[in-house]
Amino acid sequence: MALQAGDTITFERTFTEEDVERFTKVSGDAGTHHMTPDEQGRLVVQGLLTATLPTKVGGDHNVLARQANFEFLRPVFTTDTIICNVKIEKFEKQRDERTAIEASFSCENQKGKAVLQGSFAGVIL
């Protein structure tokens, strides 16, 4: 899919205990709240694991990130399904054959509650 300014890309993901365990091993973020289930048996998903959602667009389109901003609005728990909307704000060819890209994003849980918002910018080589 070729991108252009104004495009919105939407996808979703449900986080699992295995996701949290693997991210803990990779990141070292083993806070008690990530390792101890709550009264409903859920773990709190690491914020930066949640932040991998909008970076999927970068991976899908070969973006070399230069800047990313995240605002974590509320916790995400295992079994939550997070819907991520990424809006392409800028997509333009540069003189050096690269394409500059800027995007904003918002993520909400299955209850419609905002959990994460922010933006990223980079280049496509």
Domains of the chain, by residue range, sit at 14-124
5 falls in which pLDDT band (50, 70, 90)? Answer: very high
Lowest mean pLDDT among 78-87, 90-99, 104-113: 90-99
Alpha-helical segments (H) within 1-125: 17-27, 32-35, 47-50, 52-60
CA nearest 113: which of 79, 64, 76?
76
Question: What is the per-residue pLDDT for 1?
Answer: 61
Q: Which CATH class is domain 14-124?
A: alpha beta
Q: What is the DSSP letter of 77?
A: B
| Cα 107 to Cα 87: distance, rounded to the nearest angstrom | 12
Please state the pTM of the whole predicted model. Answer: 0.90
Question: What is the per-residue pLDDT for 29?
Answer: 83
**Between 109 and 55, the higher pLDDT residue:** 109
CA angle 79, 53, 38 (to 5 degrees): 30
| Cα 60 to Cα 79: distance, rounded to the nearest angstrom | 24
Check: CB of residue 56 under 8 Å from CB of residue 11. Answer: yes
